[in-house]
Amino acid sequence: MASSRLWFSLLLAAALAGRATALWPWPQNIQTSDQRYVLYPNNFQFQYDVSSAAQPGCSVLDEAFQRYRDLLFGSGSWPRPYLTANMY
């Protein structure tokens, strides 16, 4: 009986939890401003810094970039910009 209550409680908690909308983990640096910029999904991309030890193919960062992109623009089928070797 206690097991049934536990499962019911867990299912209820999961149903009421909702979807997370905050970015986590937080970026290393954040700067705020009153200035606003328009981001166009077909011209926007997250990039690896050329001096970073992590480069394209790092599954942790590749998946994080995709999650953040989906948070910004939704998970629709926006055309993704072509990644070039010249990343800054």
C-alpha span between 83 and 35 (Å, rounded): 27
Give the count of beta carbons closer than 10 Å to the beta carbon of residue 52. 11
- Which of the four pLDDT bands, split at 50, 70 and 90, describes residue 21? low
- Which of the four pLDDT bands, split at 50, 70 and 90, describes residue 34? very high
C-alpha span between 52 and 8 (Å, rounded): 46
- 85 pLDDT more than 60: no
Per cent of the chain over pLDDT 70 is 66
C-alpha span between 39 and 80 (Å, rounded): 13
- Which of the four pLDDT bands, split at 50, 70 and 90, describes residue 43? confident
What was the pLDDT predicted at 37? 86
- 36 pLDDT more than 80: yes
What was the pLDDT predicted at 88? 45
Can you give the residue ranges of every domain in the chain?
22-88
